[in-house]
Amino acid sequence: MVSFNVTDNKAEIIVDGRTVFSFRKGEYLYSFGKGRNTYTMSHGSFNIKEHIYYKNDYAVKSISLEDGVLTIDGGNSKMEITADGERRIKVNPVIGDESNRLWIKIPAKKTEFVYGSGETFTEFNLRGKKVNVWVAEHINGLQTAKKIVKQVFGIRNSERKQAFGKYETYYAEPTFISSGKYYYHSDTTARAEFDFTDENMHIIKVDEVAPFYFGFGSSFEELMEDMTALLGRQPELPDWVYDGAILGVQGGTEVMMKKYEDAVKYNTEVCGIWIQDWEGRRVTAVGKQLQWNWEWDKELYPALDEKIKELNEKGVKVLGYINPFLAVEKPLYKEASEKGYCVKDKDGNDYYVKITTFPAAMLDFTNPDACSWIKDIIKTNMIDFGLSGWMADFGEYLPTDCVLYSREDPQLVHNTWPARWAKLNREAIEEAGKLGEIMFFTRAGYTETKKYSTMMWNGDNHVDYSIDFGLPSVIPAALSLTCCGFGLSHSDIGGYTTFMNLTRSDELFMRWCEMNAFTPVLRGHEGLNPDVNAQFDYNEVTLKHHARFSRIHKKLKPYIKDCVKENAEKGIGVIRPIFFHYEEERAFKETYEFMLGRDILVAPVLRENATNRVTYLPNDEWVHLWSGKEYTGGKHTVPSPVGAPPVFVRKASERFDELMNIIK
């Protein structure tokens, strides 16, 4: 329970008998100020410049407690603190001027670790880092181009990291958890900055004066349960999702069926076929992209409606693709434009955003009629057509210089855009009475995405082993999402971004596949340039490998289903940091291993041509899945040939025999 202990000079906030915060008269705890940001966007990447007009630091002048409200008064400003649940407090900042900036100082310990702020791909523990909480494209063209040029000259360093401040992320959120078993969350929709570089304090800056929360727990499970009770949880997944692999296929009906039949010949358990180009294909200078007109392309996919029915009878679902853009040369855009459903520029014209090499218009989610229109399209052209799921892509690109139907400030709406997009997809499914049958997966996100989306995927990763954008990067990405309360995520098998000499090898495909078998969803993607990438049917070796891990994934169904149920009921993610269950210093630092639920530890192989992997095991008794060899806690060099990544089952698990039998 939350309680307050107040004297004339001091206040203590107590949770379950533990003092979590204390304040004294004369302390400087917060600041208010006024500033202005200038944003420049290119292909979803943002350059942000800020001008601060003033910043006023406030010392505590008086402390009072009345009717359950603890007031910290700084003169012309105050913080009103109330209990907001058994282990949570809400802080409401009050200012008497036109300030639009808020800084707060949170006491920190030198040994503390922090995680979250959305989805982070290169770091998991954010201590020592400054984080820009702003939704953007994660990988920009310049970063990829520099890598390609270096590779032309033979420079390959998969462990090289850029400066952390140069990275952006699809999913940003003003939320973090601490190894001290508390979380912070702000109700802001504006840009925020988390500064974790000081040994003694965390400095949080928000470009808006907004309420914020602190929640506390005696365990990390308890902490996540409270956070997600506040912010929302994902529903359970449709039952069919667990029944093997979702094949990533494109190129037309004949190609789709041929690849499906080849997979079945090798005893692949196929639960779905994802055809992202169901609405048409656009070939550009960067690869095979999509025609953003959300109608069935009957020329590319003749008789697709009949094939969907045939496949459904075999227990195989068909999935598609949609995003918030409209191809400007296609019929749906013409209709939307005539009805005024698109985001406008300052001259009143439809705002065209350049994605890669082509422009596209954006639907205006602040226009209720536009929202109803796109939901009807989803219900008619996708759900009624027979699709059982789809990738709900993008959401990061709302320009800050646009004009919205609602006349809201785009700088305060931008971060919410992906959540609004997820909400539209969710509502379309619910209105069709299909929640629990259909899975859609999103790339971008903000706070409310977690209560609307049914699944995240980790975006357009490079088809390589690079620690910043390749296979390794999806592990901290998944873990950081879990720490923000989004407990369902997966990645494209083999990555996506393919260009010139950046291509997918068969070994990379197999390593990524064997990792993803131990995640909630096993789904492939042919990549940006499918013709130069190794696929599941690249050769007999990849066919057999993919088939084997599809069977393993299906055998994990009862276990993963229970993990997903726990996430839906308590907000404890399926992919978890080791420290959720083992509070060891090494566990708090571990970035590239993860727990699948409570009983399985996975240490994916992250280097090309590797035959073993140095693996950290927490203090417990573990059994190697492939050999049955028993291990104790500590560092071990584990044999890791292709097809046998380090995976361990907790010996004390009640499901030990069931889990060890998944490879038989």
Considering the candidates 269, 393, 492, 593, report the single residue annotated as catalytic.
Answer: 393
Side chain identity at 458, as an amino acid letter?
N
Q: From the candidates 396, 448, 514, 526, give the one annotated as an active-site residue.
A: 396
Pairing of strands 130-133, 192-195: antiparallel
Beta pairing partners, 28:
59
Where helices occur in 232-289 by DSSP H, the ranges are 253-265
Among this protein's residues, is 393 annotated catalytic?
yes
Report helix, strand and coil shares of the chain as percent, to nearest 5: 25, 30, 40
**Integer Cα distance of 465 and 65 in angstroms:** 56
Sort residue 267 into left (φ over 0), alpha (ψ -120 to 50) or beta: left
Residue 646: CB atoms within 10 Å: 26
CB-based contacts of 529, cutoff 8 Å, min separation 6: 286, 287, 288, 498, 499, 503
From 208, 448, 460, 507, the catalytic residue: 460
- Cα–Cα distance between 31 and 22 in angstroms, integer? 18
- Cβ–Cβ under 8 Å, residues 18 and 5: no
Q: Is 382 helix (H, G, I), strand (E, B) or coil?
A: helix
Token code pair at residue 339: 């009805």
Helix 368-377, helix 417-431: angle, nearest 10: 50
Q: Is 80 a catalytic residue?
A: no
Question: Which pairing describes strands 359-362 and 352-354: parallel, antiparallel, or unpaired?
Answer: antiparallel
Question: How many separate helices (H) and strands (E) can be counted in the chain?
Answer: 15, 38
How far is Cα 310 from Cα 315, in angstroms, rounded to an integer? 9
Nearest partner of 426 among 470, 469, 360, 379, judged by Cα? 379
From CA 45, how far away is CA 168, in angstroms rounded? 7
DSSP state of 236: P
Amino acid identity for residue 178 in this structure? S
531 among known catalytic residues:
no
- The whole-angstrom separation of Cα 341 and Cα 363 is 6
Q: Angle at Cα 32 formed by Cα 29 and Cα 38, nearest 5°?
A: 130
Alpha helices in 453-610 (DSSP H): 474-483, 506-516, 540-555, 557-570, 585-589
Amino acid symbol at 184? Y
Residues with active-site annotation: 393, 396, 460
